[in-house]
Structure 1
Amino acid sequence: MTTLKTDILVIGAGSGGLSVAAGAAQMGADVTLLEGHKMGGDCLNYGCVPSKALIASGKTAYTMAHAAPYGIATVTPEVDYAAAKDHVADVIATIEPVDSQERFEGLGVRVIREFGEFVSDTEVQAGETRITARRIVIATGSSPLVPPIPGLADVPYLTNESLWQLRDRPEHLLIIGGGPIGMEMAQAHRRLGSEVTVIEGARALGKDDPECAAVVLDALREEGVEIIEEAQATAVSEADDKITVETAKGSFTGSHLLVAVGRRSNTDRLNLEAAGIATTRSGIKVDDSLKTTNRRVYAIGDVAGGLQFTHVAGYHAGIVIRSAVLGLPAKAKIAHIPWATYTQPELAQVGLTEAQAREKHGDSIEIVRFHYSHNDRAIAERKTRGLIKLMVRKGRPVGVSIAGHQAGELINLWSLVIANGLKLSQVSSMVSPYPTIGEVNKRAAGAYFSPRLFENDTVKTVVRLVQRWLP
């Protein structure tokens, strides 16, 4: 058995773990990184990267079939599903070197391709190597949650991990789960020629603002995606190479089944009890500084049980580097954390939804809306479906919901605004190039001030007086 000592031990080479390892090593710390599966984690291999690549294939096919409004002859695209998956694989391969073992070893990180298991509060066993570390960062991510639906274990089903090995286009894809993953894959496969039925036990896109979510759901239904809500799956069966999902709203039969009901934190292999690390129902218990109940150990990203997004893992990595590497105080916050669903139109959120804002702040909340139909660039590109909603308290936004073209890009500004406690007056003073979709943000801020300026009798009286006295 080999023993070694290290300053920072990172368990998991996904987005968060790689960020900690790279930052700590380049700052001079002795860093050891463990990964028993694929470098790059879920995001590169099964999540963000492949899903956005397949979405791009679907978007191209849809554009070809809907070109007439732009003066271009519409054609029926010939979809090669296997070739679309080759495109996905090529995108992954292009990004892979950035997350590779060779790159990180070049940065000075000691990489061990084994899973890690705690044997004490400061020691981790990885294969034949026992590692003692000053600080340990758990970044093991999450895996698809497979619900205990009767019969599910007896039928072939896909998750976001196994979907990418599928080479033949599904004739009729059933999707259990109407969250972001389910809705993104529903639209992509519909555009690539599959029949698609989404079965959701509650409300589709239920974590987002209902008004904005409805914009997206209406668009998907118009494209032919069948979305069944309030339909909890009660049983799954297979007969004659077809899969049937039973619900209170009827039975739904298709050729393939994708299970996309959520994620579960990867903690099973870690033997957390040996290190005195407590867990919750959603993951490892952490405080605001991302420390576990073992003060030498941090947990970041999906395994910490909070918002499960790649950019959150990256944000957590920065907190840990400040604390564990530089020894400075640092706390993680969530108010400025955005998320986006990459359907078309897109759906994005940062801060509080309207319902959350009203519950927290009551009548002090003002709701401001601005619709894409008033944006000239959106009109030019025929992308006028959607709106932006600002939840405003005392002149500052506490939440922003966007449904529409490039919502995932537009939400960036509002994360900056909320993170720094900026006022809407500061947003309205911004100058956007014309014509851009980004003007939606500025116009939304302006919509907050419009009634105060143009529907205010005091303002009108002052202006008349000024006009009389001006030379």
Structure 2
Amino acid sequence: MSRNLGRIILVVVIAAFVGAYFAFDLQQYLSLAELKQQRDALAEFAGARPVLSIGGFFLVYVLVAALSLPGAAILTIAGGAVFGLGTGTLIVSFASSIGATLAFFVARFLLQDTVRKKFKERLKRIDEGIEKDGGFYLFSLRLVPVFPFFVINLVAGLTALKPWTFYWVSQLGMLPGTLVFVNAGTQLGHISSPGDILSPSLLGAFVLLALLPFIGRGVLAWVKESRVRRKFNRPKSFDYNLIVIGGGSAGLVTSYIGAAINAKVALIERDKMGGECLNTGCVPSKALLKSAGLLVAARDSKKLGINKMEAEFDFAAVMQRVHDVIAEIAPHDSVERYTKLGVDCIAGEAKVVSPWEVEVGDRRLTARSIVVATGSRPVVPPIDGFDKINFVTSDTLWDVRKQPRKMVVLGGGPIGCELTQAFQRLGTEVTLVEMAPQLLGREDGDAASAVLESLRDHDGVNVALSTKAIRAEGEGAGGTLVCEQNGKEVRFDFDLLLLALGRKANSNTAGIADIGVEIAKNGTVATDPFLRTNYPSISVCGDVAGPYQFTHVAAHQAWFAAVNSLIRPLWSFRADYSVIPWSTFTSPEVARVGLNETQAREQGVAVEVTRYGIDDLDRAITESEAHGFVKVLTAPGSDKILGATIVGAHAGELIAEFVLAMKHGLGLNKILGTIHIYPTMMEANKYVAGEWKRANKPEKLLGYVGRYFAWRRGRASNNEVVGR
């Protein structure tokens, strides 16, 4: 029997029971007045036929609870009135729990697939909370009889809560309320309505009971921290409120926030302040792309009506400019600046020796809280021959001063694509090798194809997709990368091999794993939603924490890490990853926030896709940048933005409007109603909102409006007589 047929049969059966309940007016028998009138007769029957009466009562109770019919409260009172406190409590406790679990299964069988398909992304966070604290939440709700139990049953069935957990928590959680109502049944003569049972003081007691699980969780956290204290000697006083390890984006922002609110903060950095972004990542790569872009402008000058524009350059000078740019920005992240802000900047290798102590050289520093922001390092795969050649990574590339004639870039992610394009435009013959069938694996196919077309057709890069590196041959600077492509062996010679295969978290750089801090399966440090490790006094942020490796996300996490560390245990803020944008700075740029089409298909999220081609945009045409698109995903029938992808010039700037809109719940109608300066690239955002509006215009209403205007002109419309 198919699942759909089973659902239909179940709905019919439930409808028949519910229909019979109301058709035969069975609810009249589940009233307090009827119970009082029939109590003696029911008690006499129960005494004469105990097995039959208990079994029948049990079955009726299970059916009422399973079908979410009104009357469970009266039945609970009846349990005490007919069977007494002990037997009544026993019967009602099991019958109510079994009936509730059946209602749970009914909701799950009939509705869960539909609900989860429609709200899959939103339910992810709920499921995470249910998996961790579902029992606590359910227990608290069960302890307060004010909450309708049938609603709890149905809603719980739509979550990822395990049935056995639901059953036993319900059994325990409903027991206090069951006792109160069953006991009331033994005093039936003193009750005029079920409401008499729940006095304000009794409800207050239930609320206090409901808080017990959370109080208990707090006690468990205290016990857990106490165990840590027993394992390590907690200092009686502290040198600092906060010690931050790592002077990259995450560490700098954490230190800045701590110092800004007058906490005493120490920042420890073993190498260069500014971290990967300033010294080997974002800043140098964008500086190199700028120089390479000027060469392309000269090469393509005919597009702007300039017959010939010559450009001469020296590769060493270009690389020196990169370092000059780094040096110019460096004061923003310097020891001098942060010292003036009130941060104690300490140079050296940090080692965490306890949840409150850090060693630096021969010094031992103490703090109430420690934030680890040790960043990441390039991934180097265990491929044969790599130990014999002098490959470079995005960290070591910047020491190159002699331009390579041939270069192989292994990895077609953002780093690989950006540096491939830069070196190709500088005159190096570059081969880009990617194991997957498309570049930029996190992006939609149309966005990746736009970058591929630009690299391959416009810049002349040899792009090898679906190509897996097997080994490297050679020794020293040059060599050959041997790969497998379509089952055949292919070879790519190089003077320089660049590995651009992503980055790996420096999860134990400061020795935190050695003292027992948990490391996640993906190599990052395991944290709770507040960025705390299994040691409450140690938090992490930035690349070492995941789940995103972006400078702006590191800075975003730093706020949560700093504030949660400094105000612990009074309050904590959950790190928010609901709206995370990013951009790949190739030409064309690819910028993204929220869902894309690929993710929507994989997650089963229904979306409406609206697209506007930038080739139609006036400003893009004037600048000979008339290529790319803006693509927005919305909820069907709604202007709510679920995600946006922009491909084209300045996409990294254009995406900001959609980030703001998503963060603050603004839809495409708001963007359409916002004045955008003409002529700017930003108008593309307004035009895509206009495309959405045209696709969702109220056709029927506009038909009536058209007839109205026709009537105003004194003419018939659609063959109708004027005035009809």
What TM-score, normalized by structure 1, do the two folds share? Answer: 0.95
CA-to-partner distance for each residue in 1:226-247, whole Å, 9 max, x for gaps?
Answer: 1111111010111696311111
Displacement over 4 Å in runs of 4+: none
Which residue does 2:585 correspond to in 1? 342
Q: In structure 2, the residue corresponding to 1:152 is in which secondary structure?
A: coil
- Residues 2-41 of structure 1: pairs in structure 2 closer than 5 A: 5-41=239-275
One of 694, 702, 708 as aligned partner of 1:465? 708
CA distance in 2, matches of 1:211, 1:288: 34
One of 586, 599, 605 as aligned partner of 1:356? 599
CA separation of 1:331 and 1:4: change in aligned 2, threshold 3 A: closer
CA distance in 1, matches of 2:609, 2:268: 47
Q: Would you say the 8 A contact 1:275–1:294 is kept in 2?
A: no
One of 559, 562, 582 as aligned partner of 1:318? 559
Which residue does 2:471 correspond to in 1? 235
Q: Quick check: 1:306 aligned with 2:547?
A: yes
CA-to-partner distance for each residue in 1:246-282, whole Å, 9 max, x for gaps?
Answer: 1112111111100010101112332223443111123
Q: Would you say the 8 A contact 1:213–1:403 is kept in 2?
A: no
- The alpha-carbon deviation at position 283 of structure 1 amounts to 0.7
Q: Quick check: 1:385 aligned with 2:619?
A: no
Which residue does 1:444 correspond to in 2? 688
- The alpha-carbon deviation at position 466 of structure 1 amounts to 5.2
Which residue does 1:254 correspond to in 2? 494
One of 511, 519, 526 as aligned partner of 1:279? 519
Which residue does 1:413 correspond to in 2? 657
Q: Which moved more, 1:443-452 or 1:42-51?
A: 443-452
CA distance in 1, matches of 2:592, 2:523: 22
Q: In structure 2, the residue corresponding to 1:50 is in which secondary structure?
A: helix
- The alpha-carbon deviation at position 358 of structure 1 amounts to 3.1
CA separation of 1:360 and 1:267: change in aligned 2, threshold 3 A: closer
Q: In structure 2, the residue corresponding to 1:329 is in which secondary structure?
A: coil
- The alpha-carbon deviation at position 326 of structure 1 amounts to 4.8
Q: Quick check: 1:431 aligned with 2:666?
A: no
- Residues 187-198 of structure 1: pairs in structure 2 closer than 5 A: 187-198=421-432
Q: In structure 2, the residue corresponding to 1:315 is in which secondary structure?
A: helix
CA separation of 1:239 and 1:31: change in aligned 2, threshold 3 A: closer
One of 456, 463, 478 as aligned partner of 1:221? 456
Which residue does 2:613 correspond to in 1? 371
CA separation of 1:4 and 1:462: change in aligned 2, threshold 3 A: same
One of 636, 642, 662 as aligned partner of 1:398? 642
Q: Which has the larger radius of gyration?
A: 2
CA distance in 1, matches of 2:567, 2:356: 19
Q: Which moved more, 1:415-424 or 1:371-380?
A: 415-424
Match of 2:641, as an amino acid? P
Match of 2:349, as an amino acid? F
CA-to-partner distance for each residue in 1:26-77, whole Å, 9 max, x for gaps?
Answer: 2100000100111110011000000000000000111011111111232342
- The alpha-carbon deviation at position 87 of structure 1 amounts to 0.9
Q: In structure 1, the residue corresponding to 2:706 is in which secondary structure?
A: helix
Match of 2:382, as an amino acid? P
Q: In structure 2, the residue corresponding to 1:208 is in which secondary structure?
A: coil
CA distance in 1, matches of 2:418, 2:498: 12
CA separation of 1:6 and 1:58: change in aligned 2, threshold 3 A: same
Q: Would you say the 8 A contact 1:14–1:41 is kept in 2?
A: yes
CA distance in 2, matches of 1:125, 1:109: 18
CA distance in 2, matches of 1:111, 1:242: 41
- The alpha-carbon deviation at position 361 of structure 1 amounts to 4.7
CA distance in 2, matches of 1:292, 1:4: 20
CA separation of 1:308 and 1:240: change in aligned 2, threshold 3 A: closer
Q: Would you say the 8 A contact 1:285–1:305 is kept in 2?
A: no
CA distance in 2, matches of 1:382, 1:69: 7
CA distance in 2, matches of 1:205, 1:161: 20
CA separation of 1:30 and 1:191: change in aligned 2, threshold 3 A: same
Which residue does 1:116 correspond to in 2? 350
CA distance in 1, matches of 2:683, 2:431: 36
CA distance in 2, matches of 1:156, 1:17: 32
Q: Would you say the 8 A contact 2:588–2:628 is kept in 1?
A: yes
Q: Would you say the 8 A contact 2:255–2:562 is kept in 1?
A: no
Q: Quick check: 1:93 aligned with 2:327?
A: yes
One of 152, 157, 171 as aligned partner of 2:386? 152
Structure 1: gaps of 5 or more residues = none
Q: How much identity, in percent, do the aligned residues show?
A: 37
CA separation of 1:14 and 1:457: change in aligned 2, threshold 3 A: same
- The alpha-carbon deviation at position 415 of structure 1 amounts to 1.1
Match of 2:579, as an amino acid? H
Q: Quick check: 1:139 aligned with 2:380?
A: no
Q: In structure 1, the residue corresponding to 2:544 is in which secondary structure?
A: helix
CA distance in 2, matches of 1:274, 1:4: 22
CA-to-partner distance for each residue in 1:209-234, whole Å, 9 max, x for gaps?
Answer: 11111111101111101111111101
Q: Which moved more, 1:352-361 or 1:248-257?
A: 352-361
Q: Quick check: 1:207 aligned with 2:442?
A: yes
- The alpha-carbon deviation at position 182 of structure 1 amounts to 0.6
CA distance in 1, matches of 2:309, 2:416: 28
Q: Would you say the 8 A contact 2:390–2:477 is kept in 1?
A: no
CA distance in 2, matches of 1:190, 1:61: 11
Q: In structure 2, the residue corresponding to 1:252 is in which secondary structure?
A: strand
Q: Would you say the 8 A contact 1:183–1:343 is kept in 2?
A: yes
CA distance in 1, matches of 2:515, 2:586: 42
Q: In structure 2, the residue corresponding to 1:302 is in which secondary structure?
A: coil
Q: Which moved more, 1:50-59 or 1:67-76?
A: 67-76
Q: In structure 2, the residue corresponding to 1:75 is in which secondary structure?
A: coil
- The alpha-carbon deviation at position 451 of structure 1 amounts to 2.1
Q: Would you say the 8 A contact 1:67–1:73 is kept in 2?
A: yes
CA separation of 1:240 and 1:268: change in aligned 2, threshold 3 A: closer
CA distance in 2, matches of 1:417, 1:224: 38
Q: In structure 2, the residue corresponding to 1:62 is in which secondary structure?
A: helix
CA separation of 1:325 and 1:241: change in aligned 2, threshold 3 A: closer
Match of 2:492, as an amino acid? F
- The alpha-carbon deviation at position 304 of structure 1 amounts to 0.4
CA separation of 1:143 and 1:87: change in aligned 2, threshold 3 A: same
RMSD: 1.8
CA distance in 2, matches of 1:160, 1:67: 31
Q: Would you say the 8 A contact 1:121–1:276 is kept in 2?
A: no
Match of 2:432, as an amino acid? V
Match of 1:184, as an amino acid? E
Match of 1:238, as an amino acid? G
Match of 1:373, as an amino acid? D
Match of 1:417, as an amino acid? A
Q: Would you say the 8 A contact 1:151–1:236 is kept in 2?
A: yes
CA distance in 2, matches of 1:305, 1:68: 46
Q: Which protein has greater RCO, CA pairs closer than 8 Å, 6+ apart? A: 1
What TM-score, normalized by structure 2, do the two folds share? Answer: 0.63
Structure 2: gaps of 5 or more residues = 1-236, 715-724
